[in-house]
Amino acid sequence: MDLNGRPDPPTEAGEKETLVGFLDFQRATLRWKCEGLTPEQLGTAAIEPSSMTLHGLLRHLTEVELGWFVDTFTDEEVVYAYSSPEHPEGDWTGLDPQQFSADLRRYDEAVERARAVVAELEPGHIGEDEGRPYSLRWVLAHMIEEYARHNGHADLLRERLDGSTGE
């Protein structure tokens, strides 16, 4: 664990363990960026003209976890809590500060479901998304990139909200 309670990725492990280790580090970074703020702060768009918020990031990544891991690699029907064909940006909009705790629980549940899917597969396993094949290896690498990009956004939002800086 690092000083902020994030799990250090392994330095001597196999491919899957290394990729999962880096993804778990990025997941923990998002949670760290949300800690210690009020629900109102988490829903504040702090960098004009963007409407992006930490709460919105959390909701977006909840749906990304379910989409890439559960929808791509299982036969389960994924029901998205926030977005829909009628409201494709629903993960980012319509935030209710009183729902942040419930949204955080939903995020944690999505991550646990994604971890369970990944645990059963090898890196070369092929799933399908919108008719295109994707390997678990590709999805893990993509998710690391997705989180890293959004954690950069989270860094800027957090600094603007309360002056906190960090990795």
Residue 5: inside a domain: no
Omega prior to 49 cis, within 30 of 0: yes
Residue 157: inside a domain: yes
What digits encode the pLDDT tens for the residues 23-82?
999 999 999 999 999 999 999 998 889 999 999 999 999 999 999 999 999 999 999 999
pLDDT at residue 3 is higher than 80: no
Residue 48: inside a domain: yes
Residue 2: inside a domain: no
Query: Where is average pLDDT lowest: 2-11, 50-59, 96-105, 157-166?
Result: 2-11
DSSP 8-state class, residue 10: P
Residues spanned by the domain of 75? 15-162
From CA 10, how far away is CA 19, in angstroms rounded? 9
Dihedral over Cα of 157, 160, 166, 167: its sign: positive
For the whole model, what pTM was predicted?
Answer: 0.94
Domain of residue 132, CATH code: 1.20.120.450
Q: How many distinct structural domains can be found in the chain? A: 1
Q: Which amino acid is at 86?
A: E
pLDDT at residue 166 is higher than 80: no
From CA 46, how far away is CA 34, in angstroms rounded? 14
What digits encode the pLDDT tens for the residues 72-131?
999 999 999 999 999 999 999 999 999 999 999 999 999 999 999 999 999 999 999 999
Residue 101: inside a domain: yes
Residue 3: inside a domain: no
